[in-house]
Amino acid sequence: MNDPKPENGKENKRSTNTYMKYSSLAFQMLGTIVVFTYGGYKLDEWQHNKVPVWTLVLSLVSIAGSLYLFIKSVTKE
């Protein structure tokens, strides 16, 4: 009947830290993708490209880089 329970404060603090860690990673990923995509858009606009080559390339590079950093961060634990 007397099951030992972890202190509620420690468990709550751990879940808050985990939440903040992953939410900051999400905002970092979003920011990186937006900045690189906008940069590609501006390069295409500056070069008067009919096909948005730079937008496609930089957006894909930013997605790949963000996923790499996310996986690296998650597996570090």
What pLDDT sits at residue 68? 94
Query: Of the candidates 66, 63, 67, 70, which has an alpha carbon nearest to the alpha carbon of residue 37?
Result: 63
Amino acid 29: pLDDT: 94
- Cβ atoms of 35 and 19 closer than 8 Å: no
What CA–CA distance (Å, rounded) separates 39 from 45? 10
For 46-76, how does the pLDDT look when each residue is reduced to its tens digit (9 = 90+)? 999 999 999 999 999 999 999 999 999 888 7
DSSP H helices, the chain, are 8-47, 53-76
Q: How far apart are the first and last CA of the chain?
A: 34
Domain residue ranges in the chain: 16-76
pLDDT in tens, 14-27: 777 878 888 888 99
